[in-house]
Amino acid sequence: MSKYWNQVTTSLTPYVPGEQPKDKTYIKLNTNENPYPPSPRVLNAIQEVANDDLRLYPDPTSDALIRTIADYYAVSPNQVFVGNGSDEILGFAFAAFFSPESAIRFADITYSFYQVYAKLYGLTVDRIPLDADFNLPLERFYGSEGGIVIANPNAPTSTFVPVEHLRSVLEHNPDQVVMIDEAYIDFGGESAVKLVDEFPNVLVIQTCSKSRSLAGLRVGYAIGHPELIEGLNRIKNSFNSYTLDRLALAGAEASFKDQEYFAAMNAKVITTRTWTVNKLRDLGFLVPESLANFVFITHPDHMASSLFQSLRERGILVRYFNQPRIDQYLRVSIGTDEEMQALINTLEEIMN
Ligand SMILES: *Cc1c(COP(=O)(O)O)cnc(C)c1O
């Protein structure tokens, strides 16, 4: 509390990201970072632009990166927006498309930043409970007053709604914006980008942080109808003309131009995920099918909070959410094969 804070600042509940510990080296399976480095072409591209031109502002309209992303998804550049991580884009999108007088909807268990933005902008939220298997009750998203946000695959549950099912949500909300947050889509799900020409109300948001190993570069993007993209640009250009710096623009562009590396790294993560799910099930964990780079696990005989603590003491960090409905679950990011083997060995040791 401070007497200098205004009412909005005083009332906020800021997002708390997973910890980035500095006390010792952990096996870090707590923030869904990619265990593999970015493409060497990304590092070369960044080194090439780390020169005297840094005295100059970057391109305020990010033209080259937008063109690259548009080509990659076979859409036009006026259907693409880029931002400083997808969190920033979500923040802009909430500001651009949602209003305090009309309640928005998102799941009771989903990415917790949505609630933070809702509070920041004074929005009302109808939280729709996921069913017992953490699936979305789609009909409950029909006919929303103010708009919808769906993370697909969902975080932290890892569950996925097929694109054909999302179509019904879009059809039943023709006058509202439906945001599909696809931070984890490259790990096996089918993207809703294929619906953007058909539905002017869908905004698909993705990021280079997870599947492109660039969490540290801060690049996200959104794909949707040109009117939605223009709305995002109106908000962005009312905050900051230069959300992406020269290094980020060059690095992200290079990432999209190294498809082979991207495909190979994602395939590795998926193979390791399959191995991990099987091993965890052998240990008695219940593991919903995951199409993300993490799994969401619970054990009938072991408290999630004590597993979390015991793993931490043994140098392995996972994510524990002390929240209703999921306080017996752990979210575990997929690391390298060696890291996942260490996780399995350590869990075995703890549970015996
Ligand atoms: C990681 C994540 C984001 C944020 O990604 P950045 O692009 O790094 O800001 C957004 N949504 C979900 C569901 C995520 O898990």
What's the chain's Rg over C-alpha atoms? 20
31 Cα to the center of ligand 1, angstroms: 10
In this predicted structure, what is the pLDDT of residue 20?
82
Q: What is the per-residue pLDDT across 26-35, written as a single tens digit (0 to 9) for each?
A: 999 999 999 9
Instruction: Output the residue whose Cα is nearest ligand 1's atom 11.
Output: 183
Q: What is the per-residue pLDDT across 308-323, written as a single tens digit (0 to 9) for each?
A: 999 999 999 999 999 9
Phi, psi of 7 (to 5 degrees): -65, -40
Contact 95, 121 (CB under 8 A): yes
Query: How many of the other CB atoms lie within 10 Å of CB of 12?
Result: 11
Class of CATH domain 40-258: alpha beta
Average pLDDT, the chain: 97
pLDDT band of residue 17 (cuts 50, 70, 90) is confident
Q: How far apart are the first and last CA of the chain?
A: 46
Across-strand partners of 302?
299
Domain boundaries, the chain: 7-37+260-351, 40-258
In this predicted structure, what is the pLDDT of residue 350?
97
Q: What is the per-residue pLDDT across 138-168, written as a single tens digit (0 to 9) for each?
A: 999 999 999 999 999 999 999 999 999 999 9
Across-strand partners of 127?
106
pLDDT band of residue 116 (cuts 50, 70, 90) is very high
The preferred substitution site among 20, 69, 87 for testing ligand 1, maximizing ligand atoms within 8 Å of CB, is: 87
The answer to whether the predicted template modeling score (pTM) of the entire model surpasses 0.85 is yes
The preferred substitution site among 81, 86, 152 for testing ligand 1, maximizing ligand atoms within 8 Å of CB, is: 86
Contact 280, 287 (CB under 8 A): yes
Is pLDDT above 90 for 184?
Answer: yes
3.40.50.1000, 3.40.50.720, 3.40.50.1370, 3.90.1150.10: which CATH number matches 7-37+260-351? 3.90.1150.10
